[in-house]
Structure 1
Amino acid sequence: MKHTIKTGLRAGLKNWSTLLCFEILYKIIGVSLMGNITEGLLNAILKTGNVAFISQENIGSVISRPLTIVILLGGLIIFTYYVYFEIAALLICCEAGWRGEHLTVWALWKQAFLRSLRVFHYKNLPVVLALLPVIGLSVFPLTNSLLKGFRIPEFIMDFIQNNFLMLTVFVLVLTLLNVLLFFTLFSFPAVILKGDHFIGSWRQNARLMKKKKWKTALWLLACILAFLLVAFIGFVMMVLILWGVCRLEAFPAGEKSLFEFYYLKWSAMGAVALSMLGSVALSSTVITLYHDDQGDIQPQPQKKKPTVKSVLRRTVAIAATLAMLAVYSETELGGNIVYPTDGKTEIVAHRAGAVFAPENTLAALREAVAAGADMAEIDVQQTRDGALVILHDANLKRTTGLDANIWEVDEKTVRDLDAGTSFSSEFRGEPVPTLMEMLEASQNRIQLMIELKSTGHEHGLVEKTVEQIRSVHMEQSCIIASMDQELLKESKKLAPEIRTVYITALLYSDLYDLDYADGYSVETTSLTSVMLIQAHLEGKKVYAWTANKEKNIKKILRIGADGLVTDNPELARYYQDSVGENMLLQLLTDMLYGSS
C-alpha cells in the first residue's frame, strides 16, 4: 500500500506545473477554437438546409439531409478528438511521472497530438464515440473539457424524477454506465500509450482485474476521498494563512475587507487548480494501478545534480504557470463570473407558479404576485364548445382526475372539476380558471405570458384570445407565446400591438429576425451569450425556461436574459437579489470577525 501511494503521488506530482500550464492553455485555446468551429458548422447547416433558423420544429427535416449528416459527423469527430486529446495528455504526463521523467509543455502537446490519433483507428472509433456520453455523465473526472459541463436538460430530469419507473430505470442505467467506464478506465493507457485496441485491451484488463476488481474500486474511491480531504485541508490552511497575514498587514478597521479581498483572489485560483488536479489525481491512480496489474517494474528515478541553470529554468516555469493560473482565474473561463448590473431579468412564474399552489390556477397566480414575480406564464386551450381555459396538458387526468382530452369536453364540465386536490388538500375545490378570470385577476398586478397550445382541434383560438385581451385593455401587459409559428403569425397579423414570443427547446440562427416574433423563449441549455446579443441587435427579447435549480438560475442571470421562467419565483428572486454575494465568505468572516 505504501509503495502504491508513493508511486501514485510521484506520477501525479512530478510534472504538476506542466499539467497546470497545459490545462490552462488547453481550455483557452480549445474553448475559443471549439466555439468558432461550432458556429461555423451550425451556419453551414443553415445554408445546406436553406433555413433561417434551427428549432425543435424543423430539426428533424434539417438533420435528415445527407450533407447535413456529413457536417454533423465532422463536428462530432472534431469534438471527440478535443476530448480525447486532453485524456491522452493527462495519461502521458502521469506516465512520465511514473517513470520519473520530466516533461515540458511543448513535449506534452506534441505527444498528446500524435498519440490521441490512435483512438480514431477503425477498431477504436465505435467504442470511442459510444464512450463520449458515458464520460460526460460519469462520476469519474476523466476530463476537464467542455464535456464535463454536459447536463441533461432540467425539464427532462423533472419529467424523469416525477415518474418512479423512469427514475428507477435512469438510476440503473447511470449505475451501469459508471460500472462500464470503471472497467474501461484501464484500457485508456493501453490504447493511448501502447497503441492497443479498446476491445482487446478491455478483455485483457478484465481478466487481470477479475480477482482485483473490488480492490481496484476501493483504490479509486480512496483516491477520490483522499483528494477531497487534501482539498479541505488546503482550504483551511489558506483561510488561516490569509487571516494571519491580514492581522499583520492591516489596520483593525480594514482587516475584514482585506481578508475578503485576498480570499476572493486566492479561492478563485484554488478552485481552478483543484478542478484541473482532480483529473490529474484520477489519471495518476489509473496509471499506477495499470502498471501494478501488468506487473511492470517502476524505473528508479535518475538523480541529477541540480545546476544553477536548471533551478532557474524550473523556477521561471513554475512562476509563469502560477501567473497564468492567476490571470486565468480572473476570467469567466476560470469561473470568475461577472453578472450584468442592469437588473433587467424579469422573473416569470411558469404555469403561474407551480411550486406553492396548483399550476395554472388563480391560487398560483396569487402566489406569483405575492412572491414578487414580474410575469406569470399560463397555458391556454379550448374546450369542445370553444371556451378558453387555463390548462397545460391536453388531457385533464393529471391535474383534475378526469381522463378526457380538453377538446372532448365542454366548459361546464371543466368548470365543475377540482384542479387543487391533486396538489394538496389545502386547495381542494380550486377550479380550472378561464382566460378571462386570469386576465381580470392579473390586471394592474402582474404581466401575463399567454402560451397558446396547439392540439389540432382549436378553432378561432388566436382571435378569441386577442378579443379577450383587448376587452380588458391589457394589450401592453400581455404577451402571446406559442411553440406553433402559425399561431404567432396569425396573432401578429390580428394584433400587431400585442407582443409575441416563440417558444422552443432548441434554437440557433445567425440573425434571430423572425418578423412575427418579438422575442424567444428557449430551454436553458440552449441559451448563450451570443444568442442574447444577436437577438438584442434585432430588437428581440430572450427568455429561458424552466429554471428551478441553482445552476440554471445562475446561468440565466449570468448571461443576462430578459426573462427567467421558473416554477419557483421566490427562489429565483432570492438568487437575483444575492447576485455577487459569497455565502461561504460571509460565513467565514462572521466566524473570524463576528457578524456586523
Structure 2
Amino acid sequence: MLKPLVRAGLGAGLKSWPAVLLFEITYKIAGYFLFLNLWELLRSAMLRALGVSVIGQQNIGLVFRDPMCVLLLLCAFLLLAFYVYLEVTALVLYCEEGWQGRSISVWRLWRRAFSRSLALFHLRNLPVVLALVPVIGLSALPLANGFVGKVQIPEFIFDYIKGAPALFAVFLAVMAGLNVLLFFYLFAFPGVILEGGRYRGALRESGRLLKGRKIKTALALLVCMLAFLLVALLLSACMILLLWLWSKWGAAPDGGRGLFTFHYLKLSAMGGVLLGVLGPVSLFSAVLSLYHHYRGDVRPEPVPAKRSLKFGLPGVLSVAAALILLGIFSETELGGSPYAVPQAGTVVVSHRAGAAFAPENTLAALEWSIREGVGMAEIDVQQTRDGRLIVLHDTDFQRVAGLNQKVWETDYATVRTLDAGSHFSAEFAGERIPTLDEMLEAAKGKIELMIELKATGHETDLVPRTIERIQAAGMEEQCVIASMDPDLLRQSKELAPRINTVYITVMAFSERYDLPYVDGYSVETGFLTAELVATLQTDGKKVYAWTANSDASMLKIIRMGTDGLVTDNPPLAEFFLNVTDRNYFLDSLTDLLYPAADRK
C-alpha cells in the first residue's frame, strides 16, 4: 500500500504547486499586515479602557477583569482562529483537487478556502474550532506554515519545566496526548471541510476509519513525510552540483567560489520558504490519500491536458509569478531573512551571576563570570527578617540549600550556616549565600552588576538600603537597579538619579515607553519583537532580553540589535556574537568544492 500511497500523495501535493505557493506567500503577507494593524488598534483600545500607560505582567490582571478588554481579546482570538483555519482549509482543498487529478488556480483556492473557513465557524463547531487553535500551534505535526505554526512555549517556562523531572514528565505526557488527539482530527478535517459536516460526526467517522489501523496509518504518514524530505534532499544536492558546475564554467580568480556562494545563499533562502510551504502540503496530501483509501474511494483517471498556447500560457505565467514572488519574499523577514543587521555593542549578561557554570547567585558564579570576561552579571537581592540584603532568587531556601523556610522569616545568622553549593556539585560544597556587600566588593572594577530587587511584600526600605550599599561601595556607575515592580524603580530614580534602572517584564505593551524613572527594559525573549526594540531605542531606552539559552533565541536577540543578552551560558552567547553572519555549513561546503589550490 505504501508505494502507491507515496506516489499518490506526492502527485496530489505537486499538481498545482505554483498555486499553493502563491497562496501561502500572499496568506502570510495578508496576515502580517492584518494582525499588525489589528494589534495597534487592540493595544490602543485596551490602554485607553484601562487608563494605564503600559501593560505588563504587574497589571495584566486588569485586562481580564475589564469587560471591554475581554470582549476585544475574544474578537481578536476569533479572527486569529479564522486565520489559522483559512490555511488548513486551503491545504485540504488544494490536496483534494490534486487527488482528484484537477488543477486549481490561486484565485479559486482563495475564494473556496475563504467561504469554507467561514462555514467551519458554525455554533456546534465553535468549541472544537477554538480549542484546536493552540493545539495546532504547539503540535509537532507540520499543519501550518503561518506564524501560528511557529508558536513556542516561552523559554523561561520551558527551562523551569525541564528543571523539575516530575513536571517535565507531565509536560511530555500532555504534549503526546495533544499530538495523538490531533492525529484523530487530521482525518476529521476532510469530512468537515469537504463535506460540510460537523466536528462531532466527523470525529466519529475518523475513529471508524482508523479502527485497527492507527499504527499502520501513523507509519504511513511518517513514510510519506520522509519521502518528501528525501526528495527535497536530492533536489538540494542537484542544485549544489549544478551551481558548482556553472561556477567552474568561467575563469574567476577564486575558482568560482564567490559566484557559488552568492547564488547558493539566494537559492537556499528560496528553498527554505518552499520547504515550509510544501511540508504541510505533503502531510495533508498523505492524509487525503489515506482518507479516500479507507473509504474505498476510487481515484479518477487524470484528464489529459490540452496542449495549446491558449491553455499553456496561464500555467507558464503562474509558474513565473510564483518564482518571482518566492524570490522577493525569501529576502524578507517573513520569509526567514534575519530580523535586522546585528549591531555592535550587545553586552552579555550572566543570569544569576553565572548559573550554568557555578551555583547561582554565589561568589563562585560571579568569579567565574569575571574570569571569563563577561560584561555584566545579573543578581537577585532580597531581605532577611533582620533586614540584611542577601543574594537569592527564590522566596525560600529549599531548592538551593534544602531549607524550606521563607527568606523574610529567616535571620541572617541562619542564612550563613546554609550550603548553597552542594546542590550544584560536590566541587562547590560549602559555598555560602552571599550578601550584597560581598558581591559588590567582588565585582568592583571588574564587572558591571544588574541588581534585581525582588518585591515580596515583606521587605522594609529595600530600595534605600540597596542604594546605600551601592553608594558606599562607590559603584553608582557600575550598577544597574532592575525590578519587575515599577514602584521600586520609581523610588530608586528619586533617591539616586545617577543609577540606571531597568524594568524587567515578560511583556510590555504600550504606545509610549518613555517612563521617566525607567532607563531600560528587559523583555522575555519570546515577546521580543523588532518593532519593540526599535521603539524603545528610539525613546532612548536600553533593551535587554532574557533568558536566552537556546541557539535560536540568542540569534534572535543578536539580530534584533538589543543592548544586552541575559543568559545562563555566556560563552555560547559570545560565540554567536562573533559569528552571527557566518554559515558554517556553507564554509565547509565551499572549502570542499573549492580547495585552496583553486583559489590561488
Fold-level match, TM-score > 0.5? Answer: yes
Q: Secondary structure at the match of 1:403?
A: strand
Q: Could you say which residue in structure 2 is the equivalent of 1:235?
A: 236
Cα deviation, residue 341, structure 1: 4.0
Q: Could you say which residue in structure 2 is the equivalent of 1:515?
A: 516
Amino acid across the alignment from 1:404: Q
Q: Residue 143 of structure 2 contacts residue 280 of structure 2 at CA under 8 Å; is this kept in 1? A: yes
In the alignment, does 2:115 pair up with 1:119? Answer: no
Q: Residue 88 of structure 1 contacts residue 115 of structure 1 at CA under 8 Å; is this kept in 2? A: yes
Cα deviation, residue 425, structure 1: 1.2
In the alignment, does 2:265 pair up with 1:264? Answer: yes
Cα deviation, residue 252, structure 1: 4.8
Q: 1 CA distance for matches of 2:228 and 2:25?
A: 20
In the alignment, does 2:363 pair up with 1:362? Answer: yes
Q: 1 CA distance for matches of 2:100 and 2:19?
A: 16
Q: 1 CA distance for matches of 2:131 and 2:116?
A: 20
Q: Secondary structure at the match of 1:249?
A: coil
Q: Could you say which residue in structure 2 is the equivalent of 1:560?
A: 561
In the alignment, does 2:410 pair up with 1:409? Answer: yes
Cα deviation, residue 412, structure 1: 2.6
Q: 2 CA distance for matches of 1:566 and 1:9?
A: 43
In the alignment, does 2:106 pair up with 1:95? Answer: no
Amino acid across the alignment from 2:443: S
Compute the RMSD of aligned alpha carbons.
Answer: 1.5
Query: Structure 1 stretch 307-316 or stretch 429-438: which is displaced more?
Result: 307-316
Q: Could you say which residue in structure 2 is the equivalent of 1:299?
A: 300
Q: Could you say which residue in structure 1 is the equivalent of 2:578?
A: 577
Q: 2 CA distance for matches of 1:119 and 1:373?
A: 54
Cα deviation, residue 53, structure 1: 1.4
Deviations 1:83-121 (A, max 9, x none): 110111111111111112121111111111101112100
In the alignment, does 2:208 pair up with 1:212? Answer: no
Q: Could you say which residue in structure 1 is the equivalent of 2:309?
A: 308
Deviations 1:379-437 (A, max 9, x none): 01112221111111111121122232222222232223222111111112222111111
Q: Residue 361 of structure 1 contacts residue 432 of structure 1 at CA under 8 Å; is this kept in 2? A: yes
Q: Could you say which residue in structure 2 is the equivalent of 1:395?
A: 396
In the alignment, does 2:461 pair up with 1:460? Answer: yes
Cα deviation, residue 312, structure 1: 2.7
TM-score by length of 1: 0.97
Deviations 1:121-173 (A, max 9, x none): 01111101111111111121111011111000111111111111111111111
Q: Could you say which residue in structure 2 is the equivalent of 1:42?
A: 43
Q: Residue 505 of structure 1 contacts residue 522 of structure 1 at CA under 8 Å; is this kept in 2? A: yes
Q: Could you say which residue in structure 1 is the equivalent of 2:64?
A: 63
Matches within 5 A, 1:492-503: 492-503=493-504
Q: Residue 372 of structure 1 contacts residue 570 of structure 1 at CA under 8 Å; is this kept in 2? A: no
Q: Secondary structure at the match of 1:404?
A: strand
Q: Could you say which residue in structure 2 is the equivalent of 1:445?
A: 446
Q: Residue 342 of structure 2 contacts residue 559 of structure 2 at CA under 8 Å; is this kept in 1? A: no
Q: Residue 15 of structure 1 contacts residue 103 of structure 1 at CA under 8 Å; is this kept in 2? A: yes
Q: 2 CA distance for matches of 1:173 and 1:84?
A: 23
Q: 2 CA distance for matches of 1:254 and 1:441?
A: 55
Q: Could you say which residue in structure 2 is the equivalent of 1:591?
A: 592
Q: Residue 250 of structure 1 contacts residue 258 of structure 1 at CA under 8 Å; is this kept in 2? A: no
Q: Residue 332 of structure 1 contacts residue 338 of structure 1 at CA under 8 Å; is this kept in 2? A: yes
Q: 1 CA distance for matches of 2:470 and 2:255?
A: 57
In the alignment, does 2:497 pair up with 1:472? Answer: no
Q: Could you say which residue in structure 2 is the equivalent of 1:221?
A: 222
Q: 1 CA distance for matches of 2:343 and 2:283?
A: 42
Cα deviation, residue 451, structure 1: 0.5
Q: Residue 118 of structure 1 contacts residue 191 of structure 1 at CA under 8 Å; is this kept in 2? A: no
Q: 2 CA distance for matches of 1:458 and 1:305?
A: 81
Q: 2 CA distance for matches of 1:145 and 1:234?
A: 24
Q: Residue 521 of structure 2 contacts residue 544 of structure 2 at CA under 8 Å; is this kept in 1? A: yes
Cα deviation, residue 347, structure 1: 0.8
Q: 1 CA distance for matches of 2:251 and 2:104?
A: 42
Q: 1 CA distance for matches of 2:534 and 2:340?
A: 15
Cα deviation, residue 370, structure 1: 2.6
Cα deviation, residue 289, structure 1: 1.2
Deviations 1:266-294 (A, max 9, x none): 11111110111001111111111111122
Q: Residue 339 of structure 2 contacts residue 560 of structure 2 at CA under 8 Å; is this kept in 1? A: no
**Gaps (5+ residues) in structure 2?**
none
Q: 1 CA distance for matches of 2:415 and 2:24?
A: 60
Q: 2 CA distance for matches of 1:231 and 1:315?
A: 23
Q: 2 CA distance for matches of 1:207 and 1:181?
A: 16
**Gaps (5+ residues) in structure 1?**
none
Q: 2 CA distance for matches of 1:388 and 1:428?
A: 23
Deviations 1:486-508 (A, max 9, x none): 21111111111111111111211
Q: 1 CA distance for matches of 2:511 and 2:91?
A: 37
Q: Secondary structure at the match of 1:590?
A: helix
Query: Structure 1 stretch 530-539 or stretch 22-31: which is displaced more?
Result: 530-539
TM-score by length of 2: 0.97
Q: Secondary structure at the match of 1:479?
A: strand
Q: Secondary structure at the match of 2:249?
A: helix
Equivalences, count: 596
Matches within 5 A, 1:19-418: 19-337=20-338, 339-418=340-419
Amino acid across the alignment from 2:572: L
Amino acid across the alignment from 2:562: A
In the alignment, does 2:485 pair up with 1:484? Answer: yes
Q: What stretches of structure 1 move > 6 A for 4+ residues in a row?
A: none
Q: Residue 144 of structure 1 contacts residue 276 of structure 1 at CA under 8 Å; is this kept in 2? A: yes
Amino acid across the alignment from 1:456: G
Q: Residue 449 of structure 1 contacts residue 479 of structure 1 at CA under 8 Å; is this kept in 2? A: yes
Cα deviation, residue 250, structure 1: 4.1
Q: 1 CA distance for matches of 2:576 and 2:366?
A: 21
Query: Structure 1 stretch 230-239 or stretch 575-584: which is displaced more?
Result: 230-239
What percent identity do the matched residue pairs reach? Answer: 51
Q: Secondary structure at the match of 2:333?
A: coil
Q: Secondary structure at the match of 2:254?
A: helix
Q: Residue 339 of structure 2 contacts residue 530 of structure 2 at CA under 8 Å; is this kept in 1? A: no
Deviations 1:505-555 (A, max 9, x none): 121111012222111111111111221222223221121110001111111
